[in-house]
Every structure is written in C-alpha cells, then in structure tokens.
Amino acid sequence: MARLSAKEFFLKNKQGELEFTLLAEGIRKLGLLWVLIQNGTLLNGSILCWDEPEANLNPKLMRTVVEILLELQRIGVQILLTTHDYVVLKEFDLQAKNTDKVIFHSLYRNTSEIEIASTDNYLNISPNVIDESFGSIVDREIKKSMTNLGK
C-alpha cells in the first residue's frame, strides 16, 4: 500500500512506512504504477509508455507485471513497451489471450536503414535477436554439460 503526503510518498508494508526515495528502483516503478492505477490516470483511452520495465526489477516479479499490463490493456489502456528481455517477451506470449491486442515489433538495421517487422504472434518475430541470444546460451550450456559425459 502506498501513501502520499504533501511532498512525500511512502510505501507501507510489514516493516512500517518506507520513504519512496529510499526504496529500490524496481519497487519505485511498481509503486508509481500502483499510484497511476489508484488515482485514475490509467483509464480507458489513456496511454502508458514504459521503457524496459525489467530494469532493476527482480525477474520473479515480471509475471505479475505482465499480468497487470495485460489487465490494463483489457480495460482500454494503450501500452507501448520496449524491452531487450526474453522473460518479458515470453511472459506476454504465455499470458496473452486470443482476444488481447498484443503486437510484437522487431526493429533492425538493414544496410543503413532501420526497418521494422511486426506480428501478433511471438513465435513469428523475425528477426528475433533476443530469442536467438537466449537460445545460444541454452545451447552452450547443454554442450558444456555434455562434455564430461562418457569419461
């Protein structure tokens, strides 16, 4: 729960009230999102622009963040989100319903021009450097773990 005073913002939890400026950056982001929801800023027809919501946020919280963002989208909030994070993209892929309006965009350089590819299906993002990088890590981990087999 959050509380606003004349010039200060506090987060209230089991330990008491914590001054907003003393909180971790990721928790401050969630606190601001809560305030925007509570004060009616995020209503049907409003726009939320969020650059890399995963920055400074515990990865375990991304499931909840995506749940909140999808619910906001369902009540008519347009959300523009940028990310370089596989977990964020995959959470949208796993949680979005067929009726949700989620579009994935991939910006990439083609010679000297920047181009965009858009799709409503995560599996069709192309090029998908985020997925390729994550896949490469998994492949290298498997290869590393198999090097000692049979010895």
pLDDT, tens only, 105-133: 999 998 889 999 999 999 999 999 999 99
Beta carbons of 104 and 125 less than 8 angstroms apart: yes
Mean pLDDT of 83-89: 94
Q: Is residue 25 part of a domain?
A: no
Q: How many CB atoms lie within 10 A of CB 52?
A: 13
pTM: 0.80
Q: Is residue 64 part of a domain?
A: no
Q: Is residue 22 part of a domain?
A: no
Q: Is residue 1 part of a domain?
A: no
Q: Is residue 143 part of a domain?
A: yes
What does pLDDT average to over the chain?
87
pLDDT at 4: 52
Total count of domains within the chain: 1
Q: Is residue 32 part of a domain?
A: no
Q: Is residue 110 part of a domain?
A: yes
How far apart, in whole angstroms, are the C-alpha atoms of residue 41 and residue 46?
A: 7
What domain range includes position 134? 103-151
Q: Is residue 129 part of a domain?
A: yes
Beta carbons of 80 and 46 less than 8 angstroms apart: no
